[in-house]
Amino acid sequence: MKKIKLGLIGFGNMGTSHAANLMAGRVPMMELGAVCDISPERRAAVKAKYPDIPVYEQATDLFKSGTCDTVLIAVPHYLHPSMAIEAFSYGLNVITEKPAGVYTKQVKEMNEAAAKSGKLFGIMYNQRTNPVYQKLKEMIERGDLGHIKRITWIVTDWYRPQAYHDSSTWRSTWKTEGGGALINQNPHQLDLWQWMFGMPDRIYARASFGKYYNIEVEDDVAAFFEYDNGTTGQYITSTGEAPGTNRLEIACDMGRIVVEKNQLIFHRNVISERAFNEINTMPFGKPECWECKIPADFSGGTKHVGILNNFADALFKGTELLAKGEDGIRGLTISNAIHLSAWTGETVDVKHFPDERFYELLQEKINHSTVVKRESQVVADTNNTY
């Protein structure tokens, strides 16, 4: 059976996990073709663990080697677009880890390169494989909820102590990571938001930077989303709460849906609230409501392996990609809009997002960095590896 030869760019936390999945045969139509990492220690680790796999120091050398037809980019965020663009120039298919990039301007360039190349482009939005979110998306598209009035997502279970921020020199600065909770921990939820509910039209946000930790980026965020159709949303996230919460609540004409602890509960009105309101004559009347546990596979889905298997199916069978690389700009636009609103105090027009203005303000943040790295952080990762 013909297999995709995958080149891994970066052998850090995610790269090692992807390699293990491939070597264990969890992606039958894909095999590990090569690995690249700028760190001598990590290259040595690859050679020790997988002695038959070619190893490269520079991504360009892997791209030119002919050992792979597809690459998976798992390096610090700023490098995702530039490496993808280069890979496309060598005629390679590309999968990028999340986020798509740090700012929309660079991601638009990546998407243009993907379109010109004609190659397959995917992104590691593995939460799209979760049957709970797939079921919810299906219900929304089928019209089971009626008009959505309000969406509230509290995502505060991404607790990260100071030791996490100290674990690598590239973490938690504007210059090397490009943000904090929004760009690192929350891309999956922001992608799921737009995937299920569509893009908001306007965003107003407040954020705290270094509220809980010795970092310069955001660790506490509250954002308000507005849609032209009247739907509103609240998105709350923090890396400073323990044990934290992950609760998605949707108020709609047909009742209320709650997604929590990987379960989907529909408090379903027998008739829609709007229809009830038209016929009701009782001052304190309410529509009859049933509590329904929506059937779905609550295992959490196939995650990273599911994205890789879907990518292989797309290449060999023409199956539609579950997570197209071009989609990455949508969640990133929401993230950038939250940052921009928090920096300026303005309500941001998402449909006409000012790419250049955001980029200029980000450069100011980078140029005026004031956070002093702890000695332990510098010692932990002097090579700034992938």
Structure tokens at 85: 């663009």
pLDDT of amino acid 349: 98
Residue 33 scores a pLDDT above 80: yes
What DSSP line would sit under 282-349, residue for residue? -TT----EEEEE----TT---HHHHHHHHHHHHHHH-PPPSSBGGGHHHHHHHHHHHHHHHHH-PPEE
Q: Which residue has the tokens 């929304």?
A: 140
Amino acid 377: pLDDT: 40
- Angle of helix 104-117 relative to helix 355-367, nearest 10 degrees? 120
Give the model's pLDDT for residue 169: 84
* Residues 289-321 pLDDT 10s: 999 999 887 676 799 999 999 999 999 999 999
Q: Write out the DSSP string of 346-382.
A: PPEESTT--HHHHHHHHHHHHHT--PPPPHHHHHHTT
Strand order, beta sheet including 30-36: 55-56, 30-36, 4-9, 70-73, 93-96, 121-123
CB atoms within 10 A of CB 356: 10
Mean pLDDT value of segment 160-187: 94
Instruction: Check residue 170 and give its pLDDT.
Output: 84
Confidence band of 376 (pLDDT split at 50, 70, 90): very low
Burial pattern 93-129, b for ≥16 Cβ within 10 A else e, equals bbbbbbbbbbbbbbbbebbebbeebebbbbbbbbbbb
Q: For residue 229, what are the CA distances in angstroms to 197, 236, 305?
A: 12, 22, 37
> What mean pLDDT, rounded, does the chain reach?
94
Rg (CA), the chain: 22
The pLDDT-based confidence of 372 (bands split at 50, 70, 90) is low
Note whether 354 and 345 are within 8 A (CB).
Answer: no
Region for 216 from its dihedrals, namely left if φ exceeds 0, alpha if ψ lies in -120 to 50, beta otherwise: alpha
The torsion angle over the Cα atoms of residues 321, 259, 247 and 179, rounded to 10 degrees, is 0
Confidence label for 378 from pLDDT (cuts 50, 70 and 90): very low
* Residues comprising the chain, all counted: 386
Instruction: Tell me the pLDDT band of 381, cut-offs 50, 70 and 90.
Output: very low
pLDDT at 371: 60
The domains found in the chain, sorted by start residue, are 4-127+304-324 (3.40.50.720), 128-292+331-375 (3.30.360.10)
H helices, E strands: number in the chain: 13, 15
pLDDT above 60 (res 375): no
What confidence score (pLDDT) does residue 156 get? 98
* Beta-carbon count within 10 A of 263 CB: 12
The answer to whether residue 385 scores a pLDDT higher than 60 is no
360: its two tokens? 């200029």
Which tens digit of pLDDT belongs to each residue from 192-237?
999 999 999 999 999 999 999 999 999 999 999 999 999 999 999 9
Asked if 3 and 24 count as a contact pair (C-beta separation under 8 A), the reply is no
Retrieve residue 32's tokens. Answer: 């590990």
Residue appearing with tokens 């904090």: 180
- Transcribe 221-252 into DSSP letters: EEEEEE-TTS-EEEEEEESS-SS--EEEEEEE
pLDDT of 132 higher than 50: yes
Distance CA 56, CA 234 (A): 45
β-pair type (348-349, 263-269): unpaired
